[in-house]
């Protein structure tokens, strides 16, 4: 294993110190906790909290700031943050109008965020609600998950709900949009090479040199098929056809097309894949209103890519285009 770290057991703490040192104009850390909070207060507005295991950078701390998350709670690598850490994040985000949690659908995340919400309500009289994001249509009931996993589509949820909170919408109004939003997005990912966590020191799964895995999760959870490497166009067709069926995409539908790198995928390859996807959407006369590309939710050093399509409605495009002052958006 070759990584730019000191001791594997210190990597998360030192990463968090680095984030707040480099970006002290945007965020700060709550004491010695694993909670990264925006400097902008947003007084009287709903606080928005997300988080999960570390190793997905820039998610989640990279999306803390005005117009997106109020706070992010960072667990150990690929490990859910503790109930106490999430509780600290809720308290830090509360500005008097309640706190809304964005939870990716992993068993540990769901359990710990829900327990922390109950603590904040019972002990601090903070009004808390949440949404569980399950945009990955690859598999049901995979490792650490009951139902579909939450993956890169979560970033779009952060942005849209963050814009609503910045506009002063109530907790109930944000919840109503969130409930619909998560039903109108779909994601699929693939891996060319596995991730190596600092603690393990070896790849989390095995792929032959000429092999890819479709439907892989952001922690290296199994996908739905392994096969020999194929051209980008063929991979794009497989993902697009599955997502098209899931969302029932038809002519003149308005969408966001979001190509996400997994951490070790060159931008050159991301752009090739995006070009193939956009050509497929164009051929079906689906209107792509917004395009996103880059490393938004990674899996440390996994070589791979994911595609998320959001089927737009209402004013979601305007909310996505609202200015946000964060590290990574």
- The CATH number linked to 56 is 3.40.50.10440
What's the pLDDT at 141?
A: 74
| pLDDT in the model for residue 145 | 73
pLDDT at 140: 84
Which backbone phi and psi does 29 adopt, to 5 degrees? -110, 140
Question: Over the Cα atoms of the chain, what is R_g?
Answer: 19
Residue ending a domain, choose from 168, 183, 198: 183
Cα gap 52→56, rounded to integer Å: 9
3-state secondary structure of 301: coil
Residue 139: per-residue pLDDT: 87
Among candidate residues 23, 56, 60, 158, the one labeled active-site is 56
Q: Are residues 132 and 192 in the same domain?
A: no
Cα maximum dimension of the chain: 55
The active-site residue out of 23, 60, 158, 219 is 219
The pLDDT of residue 267 is 98
Residues 177 and 214 in one domain: no
Active site residue 56: yes
Q: What's the CATH code of the domain at 211?
A: 3.30.1180.20
Out of 164, 183, 202, pick the residue that ends a domain.
Answer: 183
For residue 71, tell me if it sits in a domain: yes
pLDDT in tens, 119-133: 999 999 999 999 999
CB 151 within 8 A of CB 102: no
- 3: in domain: no
- Burial per residue of 141-177, b for 16 or more beta-carbon CB atoms within 10 angstroms, e otherwise: ebebbeebbbbbbbbbbbbbbbbbbbeebebeebbeb
Provide the Cα torsion 131, 239, 212, 266; round to 10°: -80
Domain boundary (155, 183, 211) is at 183
Q: What is the phi/psi pair of residue 99, to 5°?
A: -130, 135
Residue 265 structure tokens:
């995928």
Q: Based on the fold, state whether residues 175 and 266 are members of the same structural domain.
A: no
Could you tell me the residue range of the domain that residue 23 belongs to?
Answer: 11-183
**Are 251 and 260 in contact, with CB atoms under 8 Å apart?**
no
What residues are paired with 37 via a beta bridge?
A: 28, 71
Mean pLDDT by 10 residues, the chain (329 residues): 95 98 98 97 98 98 98 97 98 98 97 98 98 95 81 98 98 98 98 93 90 95 94 98 98 98 98 98 98 98 98 98 98
Same domain, 191 and 176: no
Q: Are residues 226 and 109 in the same domain?
A: no
Asked if residue 179 and residue 190 are part of one domain, the reply reads: no
Determine the Cα–Cα distance for residues 170 and 46; give it in Å rounded to an integer. Answer: 7
């Amino acid at each position: 294993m070759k990584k730019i770290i000191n001791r594997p057991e210190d990597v998360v703490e030192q990463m968090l110190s680095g984030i707040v040192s480099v970006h002290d104009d945007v965020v700060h850390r709550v004491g010695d906790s694993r909670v990264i909070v925006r400097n902008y207060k947003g007084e009287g507005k709903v606080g928005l909290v997300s988080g999960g295991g570390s190793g997905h950078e820039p998610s989640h701390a990279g999306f803390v700031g005005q117009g997106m998350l109020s706070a992010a709670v960072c667990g150990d690598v690929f490990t859910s943050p503790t109930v106490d850490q999430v509780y600290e994040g809720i308290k830090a985000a509360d500005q008097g109008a309640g706190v809304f949690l964005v939870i990716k659908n992993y068993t540990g995340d769901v359990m710990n965020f829900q327990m922390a919400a109950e603590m904040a309500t019972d002990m601090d009289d903070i009004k808390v609600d949440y949404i569980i994001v399950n945009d990955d249509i690859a598999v049901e009931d995979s490792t650490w998950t009951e139902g579909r996993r939450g993956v890169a589509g979560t970033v779009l949820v952060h942005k849209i709900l963050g814009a609503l909170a910045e506009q002063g919408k109530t907790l109930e109004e944000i919840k109503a949009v969130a409930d619909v939003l998560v039903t109108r997005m779909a994601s699929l990912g693939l891996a060319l090479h596995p991730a190596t966590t600092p603690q393990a020191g070896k790849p989390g799964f095995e792929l032959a040199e000429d092999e890819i895995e479709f439907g892989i999760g952001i922690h290296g959870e199994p996908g739905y098929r392994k096969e020999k490497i194929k051209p980008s166009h063929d991979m794009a067709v497989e993902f697009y056809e599955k997502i098209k069926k899931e969302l029932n995409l038809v002519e003149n539908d308005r969408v966001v097309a979001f190509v996400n790198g997994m951490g070790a995928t060159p931008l050159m390859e991301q752009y090739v894949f995006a070009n193939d996807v956009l050509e497929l959407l164009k051929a079906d006369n689906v209107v792509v209103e917004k395009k996103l590309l880059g490393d938004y939710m990674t899996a440390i050093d996994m070589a791979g890519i994911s595609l998320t399509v959001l089927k737009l409605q209402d004013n979601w495009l305007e909310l996505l285009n609202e200015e946000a002052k964060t590290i990574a958006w």
